[in-house]
Amino acid sequence: MELAEYDKMDAVEQELWWYRALHTHILDLVRQRPAGTRLLDAGCGTGGLLTRLREDLPDLDAIGLDYAHAAASRAQAKAGLPVVAGTVLDLPFADRSFGMVVSLDVLCHAAVEPEPALREMVRVLQPGGKLVLNLPAYDWLRSAHDIRVRNSRRFTARGIRRLLTEAGLSPIRICYWNALLLPLMVVQRKILARAPDSSSDVTPLHPWLNRGLLAATRMERRLMAAGLPFPAGGSVLAMARKE
């Protein structure tokens, strides 16, 4: 990812509605962990999720990894948790080191091949351990945002299920989210910011707009918890188990 995008991420990820909604979804899944679980945030960026984990689950044994040395340093300083520089294609950890691996918007990156990266994540998972992924949805939604953050692929729930199964994992949950705001996302990505040189969506918003978008994701989360499946959304969230 461009260094300027890391700067943007570092500046907004603790307040911007999308990061807050995503991290809340991840926390819901991490809370289901057995006691004593060790967690790896594979591709932790500048440490937004690790910071939420430290704040909300202070007893969790968590470590981060990011390819960019500058991002790894920022993440460690921000979260107060250990972070190492490395690649998801060759994780610098022993086999069966973690009870949970979380990887947010990493397999979509131009520098990452999904199948080898998944093999590495499976390798470091303990038997019975869980992998949690978040990935951008639908190739037809590719836009200037993807160019700026160097996404080279977007996914469907079906495609992710196939990848997880082929990696030897048993899918537990695969669902779309950011569904209520998908129409606004289409307008933003395909109309308002359709020029190839447009900036990414990682940018500060007016507080009232940020609050409104966050409120929509909170309503959606309540509907999901009540059992309502969304047939489409801007992102795909998946959890799978290593048998």
pLDDT of residue 165: 98
Per-residue pLDDT reduced to its tens digit, 93-147: 999 999 999 999 999 999 999 999 999 999 999 999 999 999 999 999 999 999 9
Q: Is the pLDDT of residue 35 over 80?
A: yes
The mean per-residue pLDDT over the stretch 56-81 comes to 96
CB 197 within 8 A of CB 145: no
pLDDT of residue 117: 98
Half-sphere exposure of 157 (CA within 13 A, CB side): 18
* pLDDT tier at 150, thresholds 50, 70, 90: very high
pLDDT of residue 241: 98
In which order are the strands placed within the sheet that holds 98-104? 83-85, 61-66, 38-42, 98-104, 125-136, 235-242, 169-177
CB 65 within 8 A of CB 43: yes
Cα 96 to chain centroid, rounded: 22
Q: Is the pLDDT of residue 1 over 80?
A: no
pLDDT of residue 2: 72
Q: Is the pLDDT of residue 191 over 80?
A: yes
Per-residue pLDDT reduced to its tens digit, 206-241: 999 999 999 999 999 999 999 999 999 999 999 999
Residue 43 tokens read as 């591709």
Q: Which of 66-75, 114-123, 161-170, 187-196 has the lowest mean pLDDT?
A: 187-196
Average pLDDT of every residue of the chain: 96
CB neighbourhood size of 191 (10 A): 8
Q: Is the pLDDT of residue 3 over 80?
A: no
Strands 83-85 and 125-136: unpaired
Q: Is the pLDDT of residue 89 over 90?
A: yes
pLDDT of residue 25: 98
Site of tokens 């107060």 = 80
Percent over 90 (pLDDT), the chain: 94
pLDDT of residue 156: 98
pLDDT of residue 215: 98
Alpha carbons 33 and 41: distance in angstroms, whole number: 14
Percent over 70 (pLDDT), the chain: 100
List Cβ neighbours of 149 (8 Å cut-off, separation of 6 or more): 1, 2, 5, 105, 200, 202
Beta-strand (E) ranges in the chain? 38-42, 61-66, 83-85, 98-104, 125-136, 169-177, 235-242
- Residue 140 DSSP one-character state: G
pTM, rounded to two decimals: 0.96
